[in-house]
Structure 1
């Protein structure tokens, strides 16, 4: 038996339904894992619970997975150090001192959001607290500030080559059925995904359009209120969600370089370790005896392409954390005791994400593994259904995008949507490409890019998304005003993205999808801005 047929769909479908109804991803994923093992163990609940426990343990027993867990934890520790030193505040203050105009302040806030790419929470909280006094002085509405924070949180984190988001996506991709057929590393695949991550790109560009061109819809009204001195926020939406009292520290000794230097070290070390880990792995003691011989045995391009991203990022995070701790102690920004506290607090902040990630790996294993390996064989079943049912490959990206967008908006989480949609999408794309003779790499890039883009939509604008809530808090904006003013922009970017994925599917080309989406975006924005631009507050 290669699969359990339609029954193999039960765990992921149940997970999606529970996530939509309960808005609780951890509970939904755990239930999906349990039901998967329940089917495998002939509906024996005790055996299923044991299988679930072993499945979770086995997920963390994988060397790749555990290094990714440790990298995410250490990244949280790094963010904790940056928060405790006041370096982020110093950097924002320095940037704000260089720009005095309203438009310049908006652009600086946008650039600041792009620069803080390592973590979406860190982005929303630090930039909001740093830039709020500056935007208030320029009569920029709190809703506009919250929108910029939200649009440079998840969308930027998912595009940056180094972040907890990236390693999460790579780990899910690496474990998806059919990935081994592509002949590229998971890191190379992620880099190639960037141009077809349409929603993230358009969400970031929309901020520039609203700054350089004009606002429309509810945001235009909020901006007019602020400019006319009526109020920085609309009291009919309630009171602001409050000032950030924890997590952002102001220290006079902190300088802008205290934030820039550690981040440059992190990025630099990651780039260096990508080929180094490949060279180290090539030393086998037989044909390759030392590092010098390993370097000569392959090109730098091959070293990057065949790297173990989990090792490279783990090494980079360890070295950066050590460097940053020593640097902040020498600078007098933290004591040894405060370094320990900051690291612990940072790691704690990553625990929910790590739980979701572990459960995502576990449900991925039980649904994709063949019955002889203790799984349901869902990948083989879906591949059989779509290749014999006449489902068109060109329609797959836009369908996947819309489904992922609906799930992420309803649940408020992109990570949970990644874990559900990517393992399902990958084998379908591979099977359809093989059946139709389409380019295997392009087909999977477009389909998986659509799943990721749809997931980012919900994380960006869902009222129950953590980054949406944190952006409201960071900007001290009434949460409902932030949601109401942001959704029209997000929906516009989503519709344009859907058109882009439709074109990408028709031409089986990520570049065709990107170009078409950009054309529709710039033309469509002018039309919408003219049609929905209020004349008075």
Structure 2
């Protein structure tokens, strides 16, 4: 199937079915599995089509990378808990006499600080702040929202991330853009126009301090947490295994907040940022591997038995299995959507509407629909950049103008919208994992805010289209 092939309206059915079932059944694994099965059957691949899809999708370098990343992150989190590092960090923060609002602001600032990886950020924020937010009766749904809204939206605004490299790489060869330097220059010029990402990050802070009032399911979740003391609703299924959440600190061993918490975090940040600067690619998985090894060595030197260290590491890996299963099925559904031409169909039925004044707004809208339907922002970038940016260059006579910046930003923002709030998105899954929130509860409470921000961004692009 080439770029112009698709299965028509049928091509959007698996993604739409997965999203619908996820909200109806509240079971993401079941919803994704059913969607994948229905999809392969609709493509006449027979009963063996489903296991074949899993085998071909999961036996890839990209899935192996995120699988290992998840396992090493689970190990680090387990080591944090076994050494009491998170409790020590919580106590250290508490000595600053923070209020309920300030505790949430800590999570907001931490998410913006860990900008280099949209995978690490939501897990790090959720895991380290969860003890504090639980104590101050902040709902897990709101913590997941804070962690999620400072991951992808921040990563796409910073020019020294993998996102910037990927997006700028897609621009090479379009119009007058001949090399990586020129492409990065266009990316930099597009940053101020990435309205959705800017507003997403800003809205979190405004919601925390109360300038933007809570509404919808989020308001209900916060009322439940404050009035009933329940950070999770009755019957909720947190997206973290009990093997990870039930780990208790090892008795009789004196641990250090610096050695057992800050040093491993510095190892992760140093390796990720350092490899990006030197090699042009942030080696996040390798950074967590190094941090887990360093923590294991430190724990042994502190007197924790070797067999206990290994048992803790295995418990950490088991604890992230719910997230890994969802990610595996989401990857499979994304591949199925690609095989069925989902994104191509969405673009084809809307491309005749595009005019210079409507181009940024329609680009944002189409990218948002594709990203939400497929749960992948980078896949959306790969589809939309080669389609929308060349159209923009035809309108500008191959000149780099504000219309080009706005179009690039609209693709980036639309992709982030889907990555930000789709139940199929790996980043949303990681935010639910870090916050130990029910995944569908996280999505249901976050979507109203994401939609409100997306609407404002769409209006802004419509208004800007007349003078770009």
Task: Give the CA deviation at 1:272.
Answer: 1.9
What secondary structure does 2:377 align onto?
helix
Deviations 1:49-94 (CA, angstroms, capped at 9, x unpaired): 898578537x716xx6654554454344434443444322321221
1:228-239 matched pairs, under 5 angstroms = 231=227, 239=234
Contact 1:113 1:123 in 2 (8 A): yes
**How far apart, in 2, do the equivalents of 1:197 and 1:93 lie?**
38
- Whether the 8 Å CA contact 1:113–1:153 is kept in 2: the answer is yes
Contact 2:243 2:316 in 1 (8 A): no
Residues 31 and 442 (structure 1), Cα distance of their counterparts in 2 relative to 1, 3 Å cut = farther
Q: Residue 78 of structure 1: which of 61, 76, 92 is its match?
A: 76
1:442 aligns with 2:405: yes
> Higher Cα Rg: structure 1 or 2?
1
Q: Is the 8 A contact 2:363 2:388 kept in 1?
A: no
Distance in 2 between the 1:160 and 1:316 partners?
Answer: 20
Post-superposition shift, 1:268? 0.8
Matched residue, 2:326: 352
* Residues 106, 201 of structure 1: alpha-carbon distance in 2 compared, 3 angstrom cutoff: same
Whether the 8 Å CA contact 2:385–2:408 is kept in 1: the answer is no
Q: How far apart are the structure 2 equivalents of 1:190 and 1:34? A: 43
Is the Cα–Cα contact under 8 Å of residues 421 and 447 in structure 2 kept in the other structure?
no
Q: Which residue of 2 aligns with 1:429?
A: 388
What is the RMSD of the two structures over their aligned residues, measured on CA atoms? Answer: 5.3
Check conservation: 1:401, 1:454, Cα contact below 8 A: no
2:25 aligns with none
**1:97 to 2:95 alignment:** yes
Provide the C-alpha distance between the structure 2 equivalents of 1:47 and 1:469, rounded to a whole number of angstroms. 32
- CA, structure 1 residues 195+174, in 2 after alignment: closer, same or farther (shift >3 Å)? closer
Tell me, in whole angstroms, the C-alpha distance in 1 between the residues paired with 2:67 and 2:444. Answer: 36
CA contact (8 A) 1:88 1:259 kept: yes
Q: CA deviation at 1:428?
A: 2.0
Post-superposition offset of 1:442? 2.9
Q: Does 1:392 align with 2:392?
A: no
C-alpha distance in structure 2 between counterparts of 1:72 and 1:234, whole Å: 28
How far off its partner does 1:333 sit? 5.8
- The match for 2:458 is 498
The structural deviation recorded for 1:267 is 1.3
* Alignment partners' CA distance in 2, 1:53 and 1:100: 47
Change (3 A) 1:499 1:343: same
Compared with structure 1, are the counterparts of its residues 202 and 5 closer, same or farther at alpha carbon in structure 2 (3 Å cutoff)?
A: closer
* Cα distance in 1, alignment partners of residues 77 and 173 from structure 2: 34
Change (3 A) 1:334 1:436: farther
Check conservation: 1:446, 1:501, Cα contact below 8 A: no
The CA distance in 1 between the partners of 2:4 and 2:335, in whole Å, is 22
**Match for 1:341 among 310, 314, 324?**
314
Runs of at least 5 residues in structure 1 that lack an aligned partner in the other structure: 137-141, 278-306, 369-375, 509-537
- 1:152 is paired with a residue whose SS is helix
Kindly report which structure 2 residues correspond to 1:278-357, keeping only aligned pairs within 5 A, or say none: 307=280, 309=281, 312-332=283-303, 335=306, 336-345=309-318, 348=321, 349-357=323-331
SS at match of 2:213: coil
Take 2:75 and 2:186, find their aligned partners in 1: how far apart are those partners? 25
| Alpha-carbon offset, residue 233 of structure 1 | 5.7
Quick check: 1:28 aligned with 2:35? yes
Is 1:458 the equivalent of 2:421? yes
Aligned partner of 1:206 among 199, 203, 223? 203
Partners of 1:46 and 1:77 lie apart in 2 by: 37
1:266 Cα deviation from its structure 2 partner: 1.0
What is the CA-CA distance between 1:494 and the residue it aligns to? 3.2
Which residue does the alignment assign to 2:57?
56
Task: Give CA-to-partner distance per residue, 1:389-425, whole Å, 9 cap, x none.
Answer: 462255344345445656777x7xxx72537644442
Q: Give 2:180's match in structure 1, choosing from 181, 184, 192.
A: 184
For 2:328 and 2:191, the matched residues in 1 are separated by 24
Offset of residue 231 of structure 1: 2.9
* More displaced 10-residue stretch of structure 1: 72-81 or 265-274: 72-81
- Return the alpha-carbon distance in structure 1 between the equivalents of residues 191 and 302 of structure 2: 37
**Does the CA contact (< 8 Å) of 1:382 and 1:427 recur in 2?**
no
Against the structure 1 CA distance between its residues 485 and 458, is the aligned structure 2 distance closer, same or farther, given a 3 Å change threshold?
closer
Question: 1:269 Cα shift?
Answer: 1.0
Q: Structure 1 residues 221 and 408 mapped into 2: Cα distance closer, same or farther (>3 Å)?
A: same
TM-score (structure 1 length as normaliser): 0.60
Partner in structure 2 of residue 270 of structure 1: 272
Q: Is the 8 A contact 1:173 1:179 kept in 2?
A: no
How far the C-alpha of 1:455 sits from its partner, in A, is 1.2
Per-residue CA shift, 1:106-132, capped at 9, x if unaligned? 433543555577153554355233332
Distance 1:265 1:9 in 2: 48
What is the distance in 2 between the residues matched to 1:406 and 1:25? 18
Shift, 1:98, TM fit: 0.8
Equivalent-residue separation in structure 1 for 2:320 and 2:287 (angstroms)? 17
